[in-house]
Amino acid sequence: MRSKPGHSVLGEQRASGLLLHVSSLPGAHGHGDLGREALEWLDFLADAGQRYWQVLPIHPTGPGNSPYSGVSAFAGNPLFISLDRLAGEGLLTKVELGKPLPQGHIQFARARKHRLPLLRMAFARYRDKPRPYTRELAAFRERARYWLDDYCLYMALKQRRPSQSWSDWEPALRSREKKALSAARSELAEQIAYYEFEQLMFDRQWRALREHASERAVQLIGDIPIFVAHDSSDVWAQQACFQLDARGRPTSVSGVPPDYFSEDGQLWGTPLYDWRALKRQRYTFWVERIRALLDRFDLVRLDHFIGFERYWQIPATAKTAREGRWQRGPGRDLFDVATKTLGPLPFIAEDLGEMSPDVEQLRDQLGFPGMRVLQFGFGSDASNAFLPHNYLRSCVAYTGTHDNNTMLGWLKDVASAGELRKVREYLGSEREPSAEKLGAQLVRLLLSSVAQLTIVPVQDVLGMDDRARMNVPGQADDNWSFRVPRGALGKQLAKSLLQMTRVYGR
């Protein structure tokens, strides 16, 4: 869906959707993927009257398994490739797939140990009989020509030295001398072909998923992190676009000042862009990044929108984000260039955190809807922008995001007595209902709001507590592992959601 200048990217009709990452789907191979369970999830959404599925970033993750710190801003996560679909194409056998792994929260190391050798087996059969994929491969190479070769070579080099950052490679490879790159491509041709195979399989399965979504009238919402990891194919391939020293190491890194989530701020540690260099290149890296996302999604949540107007620059040697300072971002210039190349941009601006009039002005000039989070609405008075009576029609409203506790977890364990009192007063509760009832009422409250689009994390629809939380900002371990219990997304839940969606004209 593309917007016309002056029109909302959300269209004219009220709608609702659910937030659930691909990895959180049920499945037999350690976590969710693009197979049967994903198609069934789309069917559930359609049956429940939900017209949007929002996911977290879908690129390959690095250490810590965070979708917001990947080894590529362009590639798809190979661990999301459906092994069952590969078996259906004859690239694997049912015997090779083995017994189903346990359900429950994701055990990332176990899932990788199970999945990656099977992808290698499938590649070997693909190499023996590549003809059925020849045309698809040629078309895919053309669509991915900006990033695919660099990504595959980077991954092949990383396989040879997995614990070493590219900035510690020998100087010729680190600085991308043509002779060294050519020699590496010859030496690692087989490994490069394997990583290309992974991306081809991801691409064809994602396209099948998107086609099924279109058939069920469900639109896909992606997520584009503003920053990329230092040890990534992107930074290695586009070093001039980042604030790096002569050895390729960051001189300044990203983060945010102290806020609701962390009293020391958040030290993300990813390298910052050299926006002047990017401007001289007509923002090619960003234009191509956006092009790739729009090839996969109907709408895109633009993470940390504030960073395009001003960003928090932290010295690379700093211990906390408190040591940072504000710097000017590219502002509207980046989006004007991208719009001239790609057309109107269907973005949702993640405008949470410390806002200012200049950031709000940029968002409004660009016509991007902002976000409202209901969970933030009860910590002050009636002027709180996160309370539904203050919502704008052109916003996307959430009960919470992937960084929040679940609504039930917040009500039970985090909300103060004053916040709980305000929740009950806002809902008009004469008695003190249970946290479970309050959580369900808050979901209904969100859908009844004036917001053009509402998105509810599936944990809040299911009434799950803090054990189902997706991420705790600033916490290094035990994040991103939530999975939907098998059988939880049944017909009765779909019927209940459909009824509520119809009541509120979504």
Indicate which residue of 198, 351, 403, 465 is catalytic. 403
CA 96 to chain centre: 31
Query: CA–CA separation, 21 vs 80, rounded Å?
Result: 11
Indicate which residue of 33, 350, 351, 465 is catalytic. 350
Query: CA–CA separation, 415 vs 106, rounded Å?
Result: 28
Structure tokens at 93: 């056998």
Q: Which helix H or strand E contains 344, and what residues bound it?
A: none
Query: CA–CA separation, 8 vs 505, rounded Å?
Result: 18
Q: What residues contact residue 336 under an 8 Å CB cut-off, 6+ apart?
A: none
Structure tokens at 256: 């945010």
User: Under a CB-based contact definition with an 8 Å cutoff, are residues 313 and 271 in contact?
Assistant: no
Query: CA–CA separation, 478 vs 468, rounded Å?
Result: 11
Q: Where are the beta strands (DSSP E) in 177-284?
A: 219-224, 252-256, 266-271
Active site residue 403: yes
* Burial (CB count within 10 angstroms: exposed 0-12, middle 13-18, buried 19+), residue 326: middle
Query: CA–CA separation, 450 vs 439, rounded Å?
Result: 19
Measure CA of the first residue to CA of the last residue in the chain; give whole Å: 18
For residue 7, count other CB atoms closer than 10 A to its CB. 12
Indicate which residue of 150, 234, 303, 309 is catalytic. 303
Active site residue 350: yes
CA of 307: how far to CAs of 159, 178, 198, in Å?
A: 33, 34, 32
Active site residue 303: yes
Catalytic positions: 303, 350, 403
